[in-house]
Copies of this chain bind each other. A is one copy, B any other.
Amino acid sequence: MDIGGTKISCVVGTRDGQILKRDVMPTEVEKAPEDTMKKAIEKIRELLKSSRVELSDVEGMGVGAPGPLDPISGTILDTPNMPGWNGVCFKEILGKEFDLPIIVDNDGNAAALGEKKFGAGKEVNDLFYFTVSTGIGGGLIIDGKIYHGASFDAAEVGHMTILPDGPRCRCGKLGCLEAFSSGTSIARRVKEKVRGNPDSLILKLAGDKIEAITAEVVAEAASKGDGLAREVWEEAARFLGIGVANVLNLINPQMVIIGGGVAKAGELLFKPVRESAAREAFGRTFESCKIVPSALGDMVGDFGSISLVL
């Protein structure tokens, strides 16, 4: 299961990464988590049935969910985008229904492991995964395994301070990477600046509705040469590159993988990110690291959940 703030993806897959069945349902965060989980359990039973897999043949169940999260007890802690889910214990809820090993981890870690087992990182042992979408998260793989850290909060890369006294992040701190380079921040920064510029291409691409401006719209306008879009996009990419460089300087991984909605912009993002990282990384850490897009794309959460069981 890949549990997110808007949808839950359930998948039946094999050890070698074949997806037998997959289905997606809404999370409906406004409702009680118990009701959603009940529906999810039904969904899993359906998928097992339709893929003709007996429960006795299932090795385990992997669950990726937004952090912070305690992977030992399998409990969601205080996740900003899933209010009401604080304290929900997946191991307990799912363990009552399925007599299986249930492995729970935060979605950034699961995605990082998914890329290691099935995606861009198959050939390396040490990698750092960035997800750049609504927010910015990450996962650190050391020696082929998720590195959790003392309080299971390693790889909280979105809240690394990139510009002291910079703009306020939704976490409350100032100058976090997420406040510059997440999809939400890219859109917000453009919305703030576009008001004085009613003829902007960005507005046109957004159907003349400021509230319809997304990072995707900004990327499109930037690729068509719009000045404001380029300015905000390039700043976001530059700061993301500084974040990558700080990872390189501290951890010196073999590979940095960038996924999430914003990474779909491809070279429009990766070129300035690599340039910025090359400028800011120390010595040989840049040359010894491949900075590549996610190979699993929208399926990274599904493969991530599967990889937790392996």
Contact = CB atoms under 8 A, between A and B. Distances in A.
A126 B140 CA distance: 14
Interface stretch (A41-49, A58-66, A186-194, A240-248): A240-248
A39 interface: no
A15 to B, nearest CB: 27
Interface string A252-264: 1110000000000
Interface string A128-160: 000000000000101000011111111111011
A220 to B, nearest CB: 27
A212 B247 CA distance: 37
B68 A151 contact: no
Contact of A151 (B162, B246, B250, B284): B284
B150 A253 contact: yes
Main secondary structure of the interface of A (DSSP, over half): loop
A interface bracket (residues with beta carbon within 8 Å of B): 35 or more
Interface of A: 68, 126, 140, 142, 147-157, 159-164, 171, 173, 238-239, 242, 245-247, 249-254, 279-280, 282-285, 287-289
11 contacts: A68-B284, A147-B251, A149-B288, A150-B253, A151-B288, A152-B252, A153-B285, A155-B250, A156-B249, A156-B283, A157-B250
The 4 closest A-B pairs by CB, nearest first: A149-B252, A151-B288, A159-B282, A154-B252
A246 B154 contact: no
A175 to B, nearest CB: 9
